[in-house]
Amino acid sequence: MPSLNSSLNLGQRALSINQRAMQTVGHNIANQGTEGFSRQHVRSGTSAPDPTGVGGGADAQPTSRVYDKFVQRKILQETPRSGMFKSRGEFLQKIEIIFSETEGNGLHKALNEFWNSWSQLSNQPESEPARMQVKVQSDVLASRFRGMHSQLKGLRNEINGRLVATINQVNELGQKVAELNKQINSFEGGGQRIANDMRDARNQAIEDLSELVDVNSFEDPNGRTTVIIGRDWTLVEGNNRYQLEGKMKGGELGMLNIDGVSTNDNRRDLTRIFREGEMSEMLRMRDDTIVEYQKNLDEIAFSLAGKVNKLHATGTGINSASEMMKSTFGLNSAALNQPLPFLKDGIFQLHLVDPHNEILETYEIEIQAGKDTLPDIVQRLNQTINDPGLLRASIEGDGSLLLQSGSNYKFIFGEDQSSIAQVLGLNSFFDTLKGAEDIQLSRHIIENTNNISTGKDLIPGDNRVALKIAKLQTRPTMRDETMTFDEYYNGVLTGMGLKIQRNQTEQAQQESMVRQFKEIRSSISAVNMDEELTDMMQYQKAYEASARFINTVDKMMETVINM
């Protein structure tokens, strides 16, 4: 038979349950704006009845989170793609600004003004203002190439800096997860308590991590979470975390690689293991996308310089016969013993000129592609001239070719079927070894605009070379002579625009997907003020009823005592 004491205990447990439920409601309300917080719910279970079958009231159960782990897992799967598209869009916009033509300072305008200046010079080959205009516009074009290449290089360096910051974030979040693992394991060790708030904080840390790198996580029987990033690097295992480090090493100078550091300082290069997330996209941008645009600029610059130089080398300016000329490009000792690259089979002409600019003699040197070294060509040239008092060729200490005429003589170039003048940089208009990175006007053009080749054989008013250079604008010279410079560059800009547009579409779709999953999670786990207020009123009434029940039992006991 139940006693009054057992009734008092029943009422006391009811008070305690409703008091804890009220406190949980207050905890939920206080954390309504806390990111990652899952609302909590107090559960109670029916106490065992006494032997006669009379109920024993309720017992409190551990406070639980209202949480769906399957929705959370889906968010972790989709968030890295969202971070990847976000990072890609950010850097594509910066690349677009570098290639922008909206301010009138783009490469397209510089190219057009370059071609227009040559067109004007072809109409007035002996005009000093026209020559100066070619010099100025050519220098502007070369500067534009170098500036754009430098800006792209600067963007790669910016990504390096961003990678360092991202590595630090990954390490901090990994440390946070490891510390929470330890706290959760300690708190829940007895098996009677659940570390709800700590679990929420750990989930939020992993979710923040998923924006940076692709994440996979699972929980062991002790409540500790293992976090794997990329394809297979364990960032957190139980209470331990293994950090990332950025190292300037290997490959291209100045580019940051990512190392994973495990126990005993064992290292592994992780640069290529990330598939999604902001970090993976920054690495792709730095090492692939931006490099590809640099190569596009280099291809235009190399092709432009090569085509212009090939024509310019065989031409002459005003009184531009030379007494001495040194090739722009020198060869090291190993290269001097190798066949010169990029040569073609054919003849190379040199004209000997008297003080009155009359051609006295023409020398033809036959060039054999894939066979002739620079010493071979120098020897053949000197044997052909056979008089060092007229003209002599030699190799300088830096591996460059030096041509020098005797007193009272000068020389100019004639037909060049072999492209040797272009290969060595003789009478060139542009100088470049790397393309857009270092293209510039040749020194003899900067020093004297009369050295700009417009015609041939020092004939006054000859515009044949200037006209051919001006016509390069509309000739298919790029990609195996299938497209013009403008068509190629327009293709680069169009491809960039399509890439930006596609990324915007994919980013919007991905963000919408993540947002929908978060809305589902919010509908399950987020604090709803109306529901909390309703629960609060319910727990208040239950608490009052429990107190009245205890008061009634107390009076019953008083009655018994006074009998």
- Quote the CA–CA distance of 358 and 5 in Å, as a whole number: 132
Whether 425 and 342 have beta carbons less than 8 Å apart is answered as: no
Q: Over the stretch 256-296, which tens digit does the pLDDT of each residue have?
A: 899 999 888 788 999 999 999 999 999 999 999 999 999 99
For residue 140, the model assigns a pLDDT of: 96
Q: How high is the mean pLDDT in each 10-residue block of the chain (563 residues)?
A: 75 87 90 89 80 75 86 92 95 94 84 96 95 97 96 94 94 95 86 84 94 92 91 92 84 78 86 93 95 96 94 91 91 92 93 91 94 95 94 94 93 93 93 93 94 92 95 92 93 95 95 93 89 89 88 84 79
**pTM, 2 dp:** 0.86
CA angle, 365 as apex, 302 and 426 as ends, to 5°? 35
Q: Over the stretch 424-449, which tens digit does the pLDDT of each residue have?
A: 999 999 999 889 999 999 999 999 99
CA angle, 95 as apex, 288 and 90 as ends, to 5°? 90
Whether 222 and 287 have beta carbons less than 8 Å apart is answered as: no
Q: Which residues pair with 422 in a beta bridge?
A: none
For residue 8, the model assigns a pLDDT of: 83
- Quote the CA–CA distance of 119 and 463 in Å, as a whole number: 10
Torsion of the alpha carbons at 228, 234, 235 and 238, rounded to the nearest 10? 100
10 Å Cβ neighbour count for 552?
A: 12
Q: Amino acid identity, residue 18? A: N
Whether 426 and 322 have beta carbons less than 8 Å apart is answered as: no
Burial of 528 (0-12, 13-18, 19+ CB in 10 A): middle
Whether 298 and 160 have beta carbons less than 8 Å apart is answered as: no
121: nearest Cα among 445, 452, 446: 452
377: nearest Cα among 363, 360, 394: 394
Q: Within 261-344, where are the H helices?
A: 278-284, 290-313, 333-336
